Amino acid sequence: MSFENTPYKDKKVISIGIVRELTGLSFRQIRYYEEKRLLFPERTEKGTRKYSFSDIEKLVEIANKREDGVQTHEIRTEMKKEKEKLGEKSVLKEMLRGQFHAYFKNNHDRTS
Amino acid sequence: MSFENTPYKDKKVISIGIVRELTGLSFRQIRYYEEKRLLFPERTEKGTRKYSFSDIEKLVEIANKREDGVQTHEIRTEMKKEKEKLGEKSVLKEMLRGQFHAYFKNNHDRTS
DNA sequence: CGTGTAAGGAATTCTGACACG
DNA sequence: CGTGTAAGGAATTCTGACACG
């Protein structure tokens, strides 16, 4: 019945007021972290910000680090590294998938 | 790293403007279907409606049925039946789970 | 029955700036 | 650096009603 393969978690559909409620942060903080490029909400045609659930999770993480005294710039650097690691993981996954495919292909060829 | 077991699909966080964009329906239609109790958005303290991704999927289904000339009341009846079926399914699942538990419990008792 | 629309008001969001530290 | 706040304006949403059919 579903017709779209949408990862709801990443769809940018939440306005800043709801984000404020969900994260407990102030409008000022939420916008400031965007200014410092820690997250990238989208905009409607008229310019109001739209966030995803992922953005909300990220904001909570940011808030935690800020409580530990970590500066926004450091947080940004950390997050970049995280992304790289995720990239590596994807590569590994792809390689493993290739291995499996090869394995099953061979197995099939031999046994049938 | 995740700390909440939230089914994003059912979280009511989307304002009516975004719903309008995502479904292609008019504000009037979206509110009317609520009036006819086909869906149940939540409200912020100040009264603005909040929808979930599930609501959006439901609205698309409603739109399709309306195009086929189905009246809102019939749609409502159909949806109730759907819910009942889902309820039955859950019951069956629970029963099956019980069966498995019993099976493994017995198996364990005998073999250890 | 289902939907459009104009009406008036209330709530939301935006930006740029000043403040403090 | 990170955050609060007052300011003015623009965009959003709400409700109840009249209209058409």
> If you average pLDDT over residues A81-100, what whole number do you get?
78
Which one, of B2, B5, B15, lies nearest residue B49 by Cα?
Answer: B15
Mutate to test the interface with B, among A3, A18, A20 (most CBs of B within 10 A): A18
pLDDT at A110 over 60: no
Interatomic distance B67 CA / C3 C1' (Å): 13
On chain A, the residues whose CB falls within 8 A of the CB of B11 are 53
CA distance B29 to chain A (A): 20
Q: Where are the domains of chain A?
A: 8-70
State how far the Cα of A74 lies from the Cα of A93, in Å rounded to an integer.
29
Tokens of A38: 């820690």
Nearest-CA neighbor of B51 among B76, B35, B31? B31
pLDDT score, position B112: 44
Lowest mean pLDDT of A23-27, A86-90, A104-108, name the range: A104-108
Q: Do A8 and B13 touch (CB under 8 A)?
A: no
Q: Beta strands of B13-111 (E only): which ranges?
A: 42-43, 49-50
Q: Which CATH code for domain B1-70?
A: 1.10.1660.10
Q: What is the CATH number of domain A8-70?
A: 1.10.1660.10
**Tens-place pLDDT, residues A26-74:** 999 999 999 999 999 999 999 999 999 999 999 999 999 999 999 999 9
Question: Tell me: the pLDDT tens digits for B52-75?
Answer: 999 999 999 999 999 999 999 999
Q: Among the listed ranges A42-51, B9-18, B79-88, B99-108, which one has the minimum average pLDDT value?
A: B99-108
Q: Check whether B106 has a pLDDT greater than 80.
A: no
Please provide residue A29's backbone torsions phi and psi, each rounded to the nearest 5 degrees.
-65, -45
What letter represents residue A23's amino acid? T
Angle, helix A27-35 to helix A53-67, in steps of 10 degrees:
90
Nucleotides on chain C that have an atom closer than 7 A to a protein CB are: 1-5, 10-15
DSSP-based helix, strand, coil % in chain A, nearest 5: 65, 5, 30
Q: Find, among B105, B9, B2, B93, the residue nearest to B51 by Cα.
A: B9
Is the model more confident about B90 or about B103?
B90
Q: Do A18 and B53 count as a contact with CB atoms less than 8 A apart?
A: no
Bridge partners (DSSP) listed for residue B14: A14, B51
Q: Strand D: which positions are within 7 A of a protein CB? A: 1-5, 10-15
